[in-house]
Amino acid sequence: MPDADRPRHVHGVVVTTKLGKCLLHCAVGGPGPRPAELRVAPLCQLLATMQDLAGSPPFGYAEVHGSGVVVLEGHSVIVAMLCDARDGRQSARLLGMQLLNTFGQLFRGAVASLDGAHQRAMEAAVSSYTFHSATQRAPGAGGCTMAPFVPFQEAFVRTMLLRPPPADLWLAPLLALPCALRACVLDCAPATGEPELLLATERAAGRPLAAYAGAAAPPVWAAVRAAAAALVVPRATATNKQNRKARVAALAWPRATDGGKCLHAALRAARIAPGSGCVVAFYQAEVPAAAAAAAAGGGDAVGGAVGGAGEEAAAAALALPEAAVPPDLRAALHGAARMVSAAFPEAVSEIGAPPADDDDERPHTPPTKPATAAEGAAAPLTPVQLDLESPRSTHPAAGVDVASPRPGPRPAPTPQAYFVADSPARDPL
């Protein structure tokens, strides 16, 4: 089915301050069932009240008139993703996390200023309260995007909403491999302190081992969560000069077998703001000789030998070296982790016109009009052009260190949005 004809499970987004003032509202069309249209201004007030009464949790979910509303809070704003109540919650949460990370870094100062002005206006309204003022509504007030955020809405938000869901963009290449059983994305820094499932694909059909790939098999899932938590913890190097993180972990369950093959899992660290995460690929492969020997002798188990009723076949997970992961799967896992990390830049510094540097390797083509559904589906994987700049970089021709960002004045900002992400001079993965 063409991407433009696929049902769209995330239909829009609302960004509001913690006082209930609407900052941004973007809705997109598309085939498939649509939730009831919501009045944005009352929704903003409702969300602000709900979050305040609940103690400002970082994540929540509600249903309003049959519409799913995934709520995220951070950077002094509330992001509400409007989605299909049955099928859109996972995609809505991930898109909301991306939007909250980028919007918060770009407009933190502007939001603080607007919030202060709104607070003073509310106090003035209370002091001059009359029956007439209480029953009148200012024209144009309510659920429209404010002028400072219109370029961001058209260049980033609308494009993000028109793309295929994250499961298709990030995890589809993993599932295309013959050995793959299932793929997942874990958030390794949630409020609970335990790795949390953010995104999961369907299990591969017709493969018995796929039944163990996921949270439905507690022993397997406990081992995967323990390995994910250990993977993102910094470890000291031999010189003890800096902390580095292991990039890939591999597990095998030698007693979960089918036709001479056993269940495996490969994990790759990724950046998921505000902390870290992992991409997990479950697959089937030959039982390694070392793993079989370790299993027979009670060898190294990740998270201990865990078991449960009806799960004896997956009672112990054995740690394997990275080289045990098939090369094609390792490459696809690396690509998926890179795409996940690219969706969460570490520091988005400014919005403006592209720099006019002669040695810029990539052409900058900012959008000049809102994207249609077909154009959004065919767009590149990143919502906007992200120019990664490190504090110091190496010039490709001279091979010497040069200061970054490059000297010289930048052109004045234009409505055609361009986002610059500053990242330290290291591999973020």
- Per-domain residue ranges of the chain: 3-162, 167-236+243-342
CA distances from 186 to 137, 190, 215, 276 (A): 45, 10, 12, 9
Q: Going residue by residue through the chain (429 aa), what tens digit of pLDDT does each one get?
A: 445 445 578 989 999 998 888 999 999 875 544 555 678 889 999 999 999 999 999 999 999 888 899 999 998 899 999 998 888 899 999 999 999 999 988 888 888 777 666 666 666 666 666 655 555 554 444 568 999 899 999 989 999 999 989 999 999 999 999 999 999 999 987 766 788 999 999 999 889 999 999 888 898 999 999 999 988 887 554 455 555 556 899 999 988 888 889 999 999 999 998 888 999 999 999 987 765 555 555 544 333 333 333 344 445 788 999 999 999 999 999 999 999 999 998 877 655 333 333 333 333 333 444 444 444 444 443 344 444 333 333 333 334 333 344 444 444 443 333 344 444 434 433
Burial code (b: 16+ CB inside 10 Å, e: under 16) for 306-340 equals beeeebebbbbbbbbeeebbbeebbebbbebbbbb
Distance of CA 114 to the CA centre of its chain: 27
Classified as helix, coil or strand, 388 is strand
Q: In what order do the strands lie in the sheet containing 196-200?
A: 196-200, 180-187, 277-286, 261-270, 248-258, 318-320
* Enclosing H/E stretch for 98: helix 89-127
Query: What pLDDT does 7 receive?
Result: 58
Indicate the CATH number of 3-162 among 3.30.450.30, 3.30.200.20, 3.90.1480.20, 2.40.50.100.
3.30.450.30
Burial of 400 (0-12, 13-18, 19+ CB in 10 A): exposed
| 0.85 surpassed by pTM | no
Q: Rounded distance, CA 219 to CA 350, Å?
A: 46
CA distances from 374 to 5, 6, 13, 159 (A): 8, 11, 20, 11
Q: Find out whether 119 and 19 touch, Cβ atoms under 8 Å.
A: yes
Strand partners for 291: none
Q: Rounded distance, CA 251 to CA 213, Å?
A: 12
CB atoms within 10 A of CB 425: 13
Burial code (b: 16+ CB inside 10 Å, e: under 16) for 24-40 equals bbbbbebeeebbeebeb
End-to-end alpha carbon distance in the chain: 33
Q: What residue type is 50 in one-letter code? A: M
Query: What pLDDT does 5 receive?
Result: 46
Q: Which of 174, 177, 377 is nearest to 185 (CA)?
A: 174
**Structure-token pair, residue 376:** 């959004």
Query: What pLDDT does 247 receive?
Result: 83
Q: Rounded distance, CA 56 to CA 213, Å?
A: 34
Q: What residue type is 355 in one-letter code? A: P
Classified as helix, coil or strand, 57 is coil
**Structure-token pair, residue 425:** 């001079």
Query: What pLDDT does 143 receive?
Result: 65
